[in-house]
Structure 1
Amino acid sequence: MHLFDKVFSIFDDMKVRYKLLGIYIIVTLVPILLVGIYLNYGMREVVLNNTLSETNANIDKLELQLNNIIDRATNISDLIYINKDLESLLLEEYENNLEIYNAYNRYPIFDEYLKYYNEIENIQFFMTKKMITNSYFVHADQEIRKEDWYQQALSKKGYVTWLYKEDIWTKKEYMTLTRAVYASDNSLLGILCIYISPDSLRELSSNEVYDAYISLNNETIVHNKNRDLIGTKPSFLAHLSNEINSESFVLDTSYLNEQVKINVRSFQPQKALDTSVQISTIIPVEDVMREPNIVIIKGFIVIIGSILISIILIILFIRSFDRRLHELKHAMNKVSKGNFNIRKQIAGKDEIGEVYRELYITAESIKKLINEVYVHKIKEERWKRKQKESEFKMLASQINPHFLYNTLEMIRMKAFINKDVEVANSVKLLSKIMRSSLERTDKPIPLEKEIDLVSTYLKIQKLRFGDKIDYDIETNCNIENYMVFPLLLQPIVENSVIHGIENKEGEGQIKIDIFEDNTSLVIQVKDNGVGITEPKLDKLKFRLSESEEQQSTSNRIGVFNVHQRIRLHYGDSYGLRIKSEVNKGTSVTLHLPLWKGQDSDA
């Protein structure tokens, strides 16, 4: 491991041009020379193995298709075997031939199988009962019962046997399934024969490149393109009686005075005890190697030419690569030192050119980021904050405080001299609320002070409206040390009075609840006023969801200003929530942080 580490360390320290040249020599020149030497010895096996792989794939396909045909015939034999109608047909007693013909007509299953399954050439049932014979039902007389295929089917006791058999009527031989069929009492009904269509077997190998044989039990060829060989013994497998049970093997032998490879696949059909099927593909070795030998000769010529051309190209490539790599390195060095003024591009559109263009885009993005984010954005945020502070200060300083205080005090004293206590108290409350409002800044104030302001405002409204308005302020948590921004609550209460209670017939109620939930301090202002229609409420909620820039274009600074101030300083998870129903009232809920005194240093 240490040796490899040392080699890799030396390789890492080398210049890229030397790495490329070394890799070219090791990976290209040396392997090409070795391959050229190896071609004479290895190409033969490579081509033959590829051919065998191809024939294996073809045999897999042939086996699958042949199995489908065999399974189709086997399944049909199963259906006939378990069909009670056949048993009834053969066990019933008939008085005349007409009744037998009618019984045959009531059993059309053989016709249906032949109609729907092209793989089946014919179906015959050799019955033990002596009845008249038609194309499907044949009486098994003594001569038929003595035949080998009949005795073999009987010996299998209902299992499937495959053999090459002659049709009793056409005298043509077919690959045939035979099976003994028994009644419910285990008495023999007869022997079923299902003949496979030769056309379906021909379709299996119609596209095969090499000659394919299908044989049964290594004894009889049941299919080949040469029809003269069908029914004969496969001589090329004659000496393999001990190996024939192997699933797949390859033979190196001679056939018809030619050196060949024979790829043999053997399998046992389902429900067949002593039957095996062989699929053999004969590959002529000289035919397979004829074109590869020509390719090998041409390959040597191409290899020599390629080596000469590649040497020239690798030298040109290394020079170009090394030059542009140095340009990229120089540009990256400038960017790393904070100098983002580099060339827009270098020669070439390959990966090095793409990397350089990405580096240029990155440098331009950083310059733009510095100009826009760290300069322009900061100035913009400061301007917005100053604008908000100016709006708030303008709201709180629209009236000269000294003039207003002196005027209100003069009115209060005159009312007191005239013994008009109610007017004097009203002026006192108004003076208190105006002093509190005009003295405000944008700094947080105690929550108790904000509630006191709202209470004073409601007392003035109570004096104004009398019994038409009533209010209740309920604190369900400890509000000491809570700091809030000024004029957060008073605009909400003012809206409840002006828009909810003034236009209501009958007594108006305003209730203020202050409590804590799991995540926030909640201040809820409810009234039983006229409410807000659904379209207006939707519009109001949409206005609340607008951005700060959009809100700044509005002249209305009530609930919108409150909502934006809360979100600006506390985050988007805080703010106002409004619910309302016409003629039932409106509920405005303020969500503020739970942390007490968090704004004391704001």
Structure 2
Amino acid sequence: MLILYLFCVFIPIVFTNVLFYNVTTNNVKNQRMKDISRAVEQINIDFRSEVEDAVTISSVFYTDYNLNQILETDYDEPAAYIEAYDTYFRRILNTYPPVYTSIQNIKFYVENPTMLHSGGIGYLSSEMKQTDWYQMLNKQDDAYPIFVRTQQEDLYLKTDTSTAKNTFSIIRAMNYFESKNHWQKYLKIDLKASTIEQIFQNQNLQGNIYLVNDKGDIEFTTDPAVDWRMDSVAYKALEFPKDAIEFQAEYSYVSYLEDWRIIATISEEEVLKDVRQSREFIFVLACLNIFIPTLIILWITRSLNERLVRILRHMKKVKNQNFDTIKQGEYLDEIGQLTSEFNRMTIQVKSLIDDVYVADIQTKSLELERRKAQLNALQSQINPHFLFNALETIRMRSLIKDETETAKIIHNMAKIFRTSLTWGKDRVMVSEEIEFIVCFLEIQKYRFEDRMDYHIDVAPSAKDCPVPKMMFLPFVENASIHGIEPLRHGGKIEVKVEREANELIFTIRDNGIGMNEDKVRQFYGYLDSEEEIGERIGVQNVIYRMKLIYGDRFHLLIESSPGAGTYIRVRVPLE
């Protein structure tokens, strides 16, 4: 459940919220960048529109023949000039400013000394010829107007060169009718500074805006740290924050604004301000998305875990024959159904044990008692002590008659007979097991005389090791009866017992008739066979006993071939 929660709830929610935040941030940032670009472009358009209005007015004056005649006429007396001024000049000067609200002032500078220098007419004095705009007009060859930053009109009479240039003007030479020009004439149209500031004070831009001329100098800015009215500051000389984002709008194909630019610098934090404001909302939403499912999953997981642990605990009790039912409320889910089925199963098993198993045990106990009675009856008919006493009497009579060899064989037979009938203990020492083997081999040697010989080698460290009773004797019996006895000239059996670390190794080798491959495979087949112990004690039953005692911890090796004898090695762990 924790893995399910981690990979299906926690990680997807965190990933989704992070992805949502990043996508939202990028979308808002891109949208904000587009809005700022459009705002800069709108400032660019509005500013150009105001300048073009002034240029349009200047073009009208530039091509006005009547106006050119008034400016070129030599007046004999002031009354003649005043009459011409009132009839035409005053009317055209008063026509445009009310229509074009961005126009602050319209003034003509002339060299004609017969005109009165007032009411829109100014004298082109030597001081005026030292101004920047006059120098710029004289340097250009065409008749296009120029756009420059200038001083307010009422400040031109001052000689203080530190006076601030606080407005913009369109200036052009009135030389359209060159053949009829006797005097130099210049038109100067001043724009309202308040209108320019209103254009650049765009409410959608929270950064600074710069109007940069073709030389890279700042002509106007909303940056309070730059005194654009008094100083000529290069834009590249300014230092901006590392996260500042720059937006530009350039003027192209406009002679009087060629290579001028409007640049806006806004911090990235300001661009992403809306996202930052919604960050807390996204964080709270993510916490709710994680916290509420977590509580629900923990509640469900705790309920599942407690009931599963309770079922497991009662199952262990059932293993120990404690058939208690689970006391809990009714649940309709799968674990509740499992609990109900467990209780029903427990009650049924307990009932079966009480009704069937116990009765069966009683029946088998009665059968065992009956078998035991039969066995006691048989033992009473043939008492082993009677047989032992009879054999001992025969042995003593043989000794009296000096038949020591017969007495020895009878003694060995009695020892083997007593060992095979006495099963009070299932474990014997290796030395005791070897005694049984010696008794058996002596009897076989008595039977075959010189046809059979044997050699036994037991390591001192192996003599006191416990082994299952009669574990090695069947292998010796098998080697003697099936290996040596069929030989005409007899053979030899070699038995060796040694200890290696915590293992006991028993080996037996004979030079008898040997076994074919099928017989060897039959012996190995006993290792995988699940048959029960038979009535006689043989190699098969020995292997089965070792499987019961040692499991897969004992090892059997058989090497044999017809006519080459048999080699068997048994390796068992010491206990």
TM-score by length of 2: 0.42
Structure with larger Rg? 2
With CA pairs under 8 Å and 6+ residues apart, which has the higher RCO, 1 or 2?
2
TM-score by length of 1: 0.40
